[in-house]
Structure 1
Amino acid sequence: MKLYKILVVNIGSTSTKLAYYEDKECKLKTTLEHPVHELAAFDDMMDQDHYRRAAIEAFLKDKGIQVSELDAISCRGGHSKPLEGGVYRINETMLAQQASGLYGRHPADIGTKIAYQMAAENKLLAVVVDPPVTDEFTAVARLSGHPELPRQSRFQALSHRATGKRYARDNGRKYEELNLVIAHMGGGITVAVHRQGKMIDATNGIDGEGPFSTNRTGGLPVGALVDLCFSGRYSYKKVQKMINGEGGLTAYLKENDVRTIEVKAATDDYYALCLEAMIYQTCKEIGAMATVLAGKVDAIVITGGIAHSQKIMAKIKERVGFIAPITLYPGENEMDALALGALEAIRGNEPIKSL
């Protein structure tokens, strides 16, 4: 059987994560850090593609990896129109839609530009897997309470789907036959319903739904938020930052490292209260999502960096363990998910979709 070679690219605001896979095995992984003063030279982050590509190619050359010998480049990103989940070929339509900014902007989209360019020059496959605009919500899940404010599918779709599929593989089941409630607990916390292969409802962890996390507010009292917005005390940008970036544990404790907070919580009642509130809200959301499945939940699955904490996981099990068995997959799995998605597409086990 042919050994497929895949490069995974995951670009963040000041870093570029790279991984090289041969089939499912990660042979090399690194994070390239980019000095802030160098990035400041670009007025628009999407203009960083040549700069970032040069760094990627320099690293690959240093490690003796020939781009022309790759079979695929798999990226995080692709802010196009809302799409059903899956593996999507990066094409000019996708690039045009993400360039419009109508569907969100993220540094990861620089990666799709780079992948498209490199793939075109070397006759490779370039794809995104379960892009951030993945939307499989049911009609009833979209209603918020006002027609001008529909609920949107905005959560860590890549991590969620990969975790669901991993659980299925580990238990000898098909993802498409399972009902799961999955919680991703990292910088943001999102909880989603996976019903027989579709993510039919989820908390919007970016714009303020669900539990608060290390730096995001989650859902807020609407009336109080409206009053705050019109108080004249804060600008639009400041309020947005309060919701995503300076909310949650950061707002309460001026600290966003859960490991540090856990240590301080052992002797500080306020730290303990704030940490308990985050756990409490997460459990409430897991319980709420279980009702979407009418209680027919095969498993509750938790992933993300916070899942490493035995104390936090024990408290979650205590509150929601009665709903269904709980399985933990600590840590981030985005790079593996991107590689596996591309591999399954190359092998013909997943369809390669196009806009």
Structure 2
Amino acid sequence: MKVLVLNSGSSSLKYQLFEMPEGKVLCAGLVEKIGESTGKLELQIDDNRIEINEPFADHKVALHKVAQLLTDPQYQILNSASEIEAVGHRVVHGGERFSATTLITPEVKTNIQDLFSLAPLHNPANLQGIEVAEKVFAEAKQYAVFDTAFHSSIPEHAYRFAIPKELYSKYGTRVYGFHGTSHRYVANQAIKHLGLINQDSKIITVHLGNGCSIAAVKNGQSIDTSMGLGPLSGLIMGTRSGDIDPSVLFYLLEQGYEIEQIKTILNKQSGMKGLTGDNDLRNINTRALEGDLDAQLALDMYSYRIKKYIGAYMAALGGVDAIVFTAGVGENDAATRAKSCAGMHGFGIEIDSVANETRKKGIREIQHGKVKILVIPTDEEYEIARQSYNLILGKSPY
């Protein structure tokens, strides 16, 4: 069975085609700068990379072009678009309405639209991708896989804020969490790797990319996570501040800043970029080694925040079997992993420096101490394909 996975951004479209249940990637690609005067489409088939530079007026034009390439005889991917039996869509916010992957219906689309205010940068683009795919791949089942769904198991004492109850009951103001598809995937991979299937397990998953989040996963279920109502809280990120004293917001308002200015500052001008002027951790690491004090401080702050959350989640879980690092930074930045686990020997957390610096494919164990420290490459696209495939078979998505 062929399953297409789509991730629609405001001006981009990522896609990946799988043969299921094997999980074989038939092709993958990206369309960028949709709606701009110049655009780019990339298609990767095994070791062959095709690039097309032309404007794409909207997502419909972009997805039609993708479908055309998938069915082009010279690439031998599909004979026709009807071969795709399921399309899995990444949808960022499911609110309290969606706790699992679901078949997309008119009612589901209305509910996704109702959640625009909670994810104004993402849900509108996600819905647009769904509506276009329904036309381009009209014979396929369409499924929504929500970033927030994995965290729907968080208990009320952890997801509620200490604010008037009315603000929760009327507006849904609570912790939702994000990166759930990634956290679910790597937590399950860790449980399998450690032989903890059908046993008690306590896993801390650390997703570090330009956006960063950490989750406490007990027996395969999320019980807490660092992101909240939106994807701004928690760890220090590429351009986002992470946790901040709310008094800072009132203070900036009193200094004459407007709400939109503060949103821009905290979402796009803060985090590592605010501290160093750069949000690429590779450059920041190089600068730190060259003696740049701003870079050194930023890295200290970045890893200290991760360490604080690890400690908090060890307490929430009542211990920990494994700490999992994943995503771009988590998988590739040995220095960040080492600094985030430094000084935790008393808790059985100790990095093996040689294993930490050694690159290899697949799951890696990089610990000396009794707590397993794992590097697990995330695969959100495969997880979306797997869940969609399970649903089309009439099984639980998980």
Find the partner of 1:126 among 142, 147, 159. Answer: 142
Find the partner of 1:231 among 239, 250, 255. Answer: 255
Aligned-partner SS, 1:76: strand
The separation in 1 between residues aligned to 2:219 and 2:97, in whole angstroms, is: 18
- Residue by residue over 1:222-270, the C-alpha shift from the partner in whole angstroms, topping out at 9 and shown as x without a partner, is 22221112321x2212211211122101111110111111111101122
Extract structure 1 runs of 4+ deviating beyond 4 A.
Answer: none
2:384 — aligned with what?
A: 338
Change over 3 Å in CA distance of 1:347–1:168 after alignment to 2:
farther
Find the partner of 1:94 among 108, 116, 128. Answer: 108
Aligned-partner SS, 2:268: coil
- Deviation (angstroms), 1:177: 4.3
Is 1:217 paired with 2:241? yes
Change over 3 Å in CA distance of 1:50–1:222 after alignment to 2:
same
Aligned-partner SS, 2:376: strand
2:52 — aligned with what?
A: none
- Deviation (angstroms), 1:103: 4.1
- Deviation (angstroms), 1:292: 1.1
1:44 — aligned with what?
A: none
Judge which range, 201-210 or 280-289, deviates more.
201-210
- Deviation (angstroms), 1:102: 4.2
Is 1:19 paired with 2:65? no
Find the partner of 2:91 among 60, 73, 77. Answer: 77
For residues 298-337 of structure 1, the aligned pairs below 5 Å read 298-307=321-330, 308-320=332-344, 322=348, 324-330=371-377, 332-337=378-383
Judge which range, 137-146 or 312-321, deviates more.
312-321
Is 1:290 paired with 2:314? yes
2:287 — aligned with what?
A: 264
Change over 3 Å in CA distance of 1:90–1:162 after alignment to 2:
same
- Residue by residue over 1:41-90, the C-alpha shift from the partner in whole angstroms, topping out at 9 and shown as x without a partner, is xxxxxx94423432332332334422201221111116444245432111
The separation in 2 between residues aligned to 1:73 and 1:49, in whole angstroms, is: 15
Find the partner of 1:104 among 119, 122, 144. Answer: 119
Task: Read off the aligned partner of 1:181 and give its amino acid letter.
Answer: I
For residues 133-148 of structure 1, the aligned pairs below 5 Å read 135-147=152-164, 148=167
- Deviation (angstroms), 1:130: 3.9
The separation in 2 between residues aligned to 1:280 and 1:175, in whole angstroms, is: 33
Task: Read off the aligned partner of 1:29 and give its amino acid letter.
Answer: A
Task: Read off the aligned partner of 2:328 and give its amino acid letter.
Answer: G
Judge which range, 271-280 or 321-330, deviates more.
321-330
Judge which range, 195-204 or 77-86, deviates more.
77-86
Find the partner of 2:192 among 169, 175, 199. Answer: 169
> Any unmatched runs of 5+ in structure 2?
40-56, 350-370
The separation in 1 between residues aligned to 2:248 and 2:119, in whole angstroms, is: 27
Judge which range, 215-224 or 145-154, deviates more.
145-154
Maintained 8 Å contact 2:148/2:177: yes
The separation in 2 between residues aligned to 1:160 and 1:239, in whole angstroms, is: 29
Is 1:56 paired with 2:66? yes
1:350 — aligned with what?
A: 396
- Residue by residue over 1:134-161, the C-alpha shift from the partner in whole angstroms, topping out at 9 and shown as x without a partner, is 5222010123232247532132111111
Aligned-partner SS, 2:235: coil
> Any unmatched runs of 5+ in structure 1?
41-46
Task: Read off the aligned partner of 1:114 and give its amino acid letter.
Answer: V
Maintained 8 Å contact 1:87/1:350: no
- Deviation (angstroms), 1:191: 1.1
Aligned-partner SS, 1:86: coil
Task: Read off the aligned partner of 1:18 and give its amino acid letter.
Answer: Y
2:29 — aligned with what?
A: 30
Maintained 8 Å contact 1:302/1:328: yes
Task: Read off the aligned partner of 1:290 and give its amino acid letter.
Answer: M
Change over 3 Å in CA distance of 1:27–1:319 after alignment to 2:
farther
Identity among equivalent positions (%) equals 23
Change over 3 Å in CA distance of 1:182–1:172 after alignment to 2:
same
The separation in 1 between residues aligned to 2:343 and 2:12, in whole angstroms, is: 37
Higher relative contact order (CA 8 A, sep 6+): 1
Change over 3 Å in CA distance of 1:211–1:127 after alignment to 2:
same
Is 1:190 paired with 2:213? yes
The separation in 1 between residues aligned to 2:281 and 2:191, in whole angstroms, is: 29
- Deviation (angstroms), 1:25: 0.9
**Alignment length, in residue pairs?**
338
Maintained 8 Å contact 1:78/1:94: no
2:6 — aligned with what?
A: 9
Change over 3 Å in CA distance of 1:169–1:38 after alignment to 2:
farther
Is 1:281 paired with 2:335? no
- Residue by residue over 1:308-348, the C-alpha shift from the partner in whole angstroms, topping out at 9 and shown as x without a partner, is 11111122232456353211124x52212212222333445
Aligned-partner SS, 1:244: helix
Maintained 8 Å contact 1:78/1:112: no
Structure 2 length normalisation: TM-score? 0.77
Aligned-partner SS, 1:9: strand
Superposition RMSD on alpha carbons, in Å? 2.6
